[in-house]
Each structure stands twice: as C-alpha cells, then as structure tokens.
Amino acid sequence: MTAADRIAIAPALSLSPIGCGTWAWGNRLLWGYDTSMDAQLESTFQRCLAKGITWFDTGDSYGTGRLNGRSEQLLGEFAGAYTGPNLDALCIATKLAVYPWRLTRQSLVAACMKSSRRLGRPVDLAQLHWSPKNYLPWQEGPLLDGLAELWDRGLVKAIGLSNYGPIALRRVHKRFSEQGIPLATLQVQYSLLATATVSELDIKAVCDELGVRLIAYSPLTLGLLTGKYDRTNLPGGLRSWLFRRLLPGAKPLLDCQRAIANARGKTMAQVALNWCVCKGTIPIPGAKHPAQATDNLGALGWSLDAGEIEDLDRAAARVKRPMMQNIFQTR
C-alpha cells in the first residue's frame, strides 16, 4: 500500500483504506486480554504499519476498570518504540466516551488531553463515542463544544462522530458548519451481518452529501465472518453465547461468502472487508496477531465484481437474525 492509496479526510490527515481496530487491546471481558499478549500485539502493530495500515482506532473506554485506557497506553508504547516504514503516516484516532460525569466543554478537552498523555503524542482524530441525545439530551451540546475547541485550538488534526444516524449527523454537521469547523468522519457498525444501520437509515448518502467519510466498525462481526467458527468450534466468553445465537441464521450468507472466497483465492475475511470497501466505507477490523493483520491487508488491491456484490447483498438481506445494533446508535 502506497501513499497514493491513502484517503484525505482533513488538510493534514490521511487514512489508509483499511484501519486497525484495537478494542481487544486491553479488553478482558469480551476478548480475553492478558498482559502476556502485549508482545504479540506489538508485533501486530508493527506488521500493520510496515505494510501500510497506517491508522489505528481506539477509545479512552477501551480497557475498563484497572485496565482503564490500556489500549491507548499500548498504542503509545508501540508507536514510541517503532522505527520502521510509514512512521510519518501514523494516525491514531480515539473515541472519547460520553460518561455521565462528563458534562462540560472542558471535561471533553481534558479527556482528550489524558488520551494524548497515554499515547505519548497528540490525538490525530478525536471522535465523540456516542450521542446522549436519547437519554440525557442536554449533555450533548457542551461535549460537542469541547470537540469544537479541540479543533479550534489545533489540538487535533480532525474531529468525527461515532454511532450517529443521519438525522443527528445533519444536526451536528450544521452546528459545526456555522462555526466554520469541518466534520471529517462518522463511524457506525457495518458488516454483512449488520447492514441495517447504513442501508435502512441511508447514512452513506448523507455522509456523501455532507463530505463526511464513513468508517465501518466491527466489519467482521467480532470474528464470525472470518469463517473460523461453527456450532462445534466457538470462541470463549460472551462471544460464544452471541455466536450460538447468530450462526444458524447466518449459514446461507457464510456459504455464499465462502464460495466467493474459494473462487477468488481469497479468505472469507478478505471478502467481507472488500465488500465494505466496495460500499464506500473505511473498515476497521480488529487484529490481535500479525497473521490477522496480513489477512486484513489481503482485502485490498482487488474488487468484488457487481454480481458478487449482488449475491452477498441478497444473502445478507435474507439473514433472519442479524447482529444486534449498538444500543447507543441514534437516528
């Protein structure tokens, strides 16, 4: 992947067409993180950056409890020690949680500064993790003002949102536009097993209209779309319960995905990620092993044809029990 492949989202910031999600880097409950994994995670970071995945998405809520901020801390350590290719293109995006005690403009600015200290570098892309509009609507305005202040003071290169729908996106975009502040990105849950957020709400069309880049998180549905799992081979923890629920109804989709992968000489994960790219999004699959980073990179440099996309769309539309929507997703 070369510099020419990167996608400009702000005057001073470009993203590779696929990023790396780091939710698992510090999360014990869902992903079984342990500090013994840190060397493996650093190798994954190095593989991504050296091969052209130049941006990493994290959040200040990733690694809660005693491991609060662990994902950001690890990224900071790995970036500080890295001396390989593409270091000049490294971008770290973080999502700032809408905790109930964050009530003011300054609280959000302070949160971003804490993230920067954990990272050992400025945050490149600061994003509001979700909107409190559905349950504490008066909290949102001050936090958006904090996001605007980060931009005005030059503390970040770009700002974005997460889990906002088209109505809320238009509202915030208008608010920032009136202040002369560009809104760069929106990330939502999107995969072959979670199409409703984008297709039913028509978020992509609104993003295109407003000049906002759409980022697809969980594009592999927590690993289910890699094809590694079935009813007799399940991951541990909470994902086991979830996959038992999803796998029966997902079988026709997975069969379609597998057939295309076999015909193309690709992996199922690469087909799922390429589908996201073909839909005009920037997917951010997670990776805990260097081999997973290499697999994710194999989703680039080729494109599904129109017939393959149609087959996948049709199979996805027939899934009787899709992945549940994020509870913080707004309309």
Residues with a catalytic annotation lie at 62
Cα separation, 300 vs 309, in Å, equals 16
How far apart are the C-alpha atoms of 132 and 129, rounded to whole Å?
10
| Beta bridge partners of residue 185, listed in sequence order | 160, 213
Q: Which helix (H) or strand (E) holds 258?
A: helix 238-264
Half-sphere exposure of 76 (CA within 13 A, CB side): 18
Largest CA distance in the chain: 55
Cα dist. 146→101, 111, 169 in Å?
Answer: 14, 10, 17
C-alpha 163 chain-centroid distance: 11
Evaluated on CA atoms 172, 178, 179, 180, the torsion sign reads: positive
Within 101-161, where are the H helices?
A: 105-119, 140-152
CA 75, CA 71: separation in Å to the nearest integer? 6
Q: Is 247 in contact with 229 (CB distance < 8 Å)?
A: yes
C-alpha distances out from residue 187 to 152, 170, 198, 214, 307, Å: 22, 14, 10, 6, 27
**CA–CA dist 194, 32 (Å, integer):** 24
Distance of CA 32 to the CA centre of its chain: 19
Distance CA 172, CA 331 (A): 12
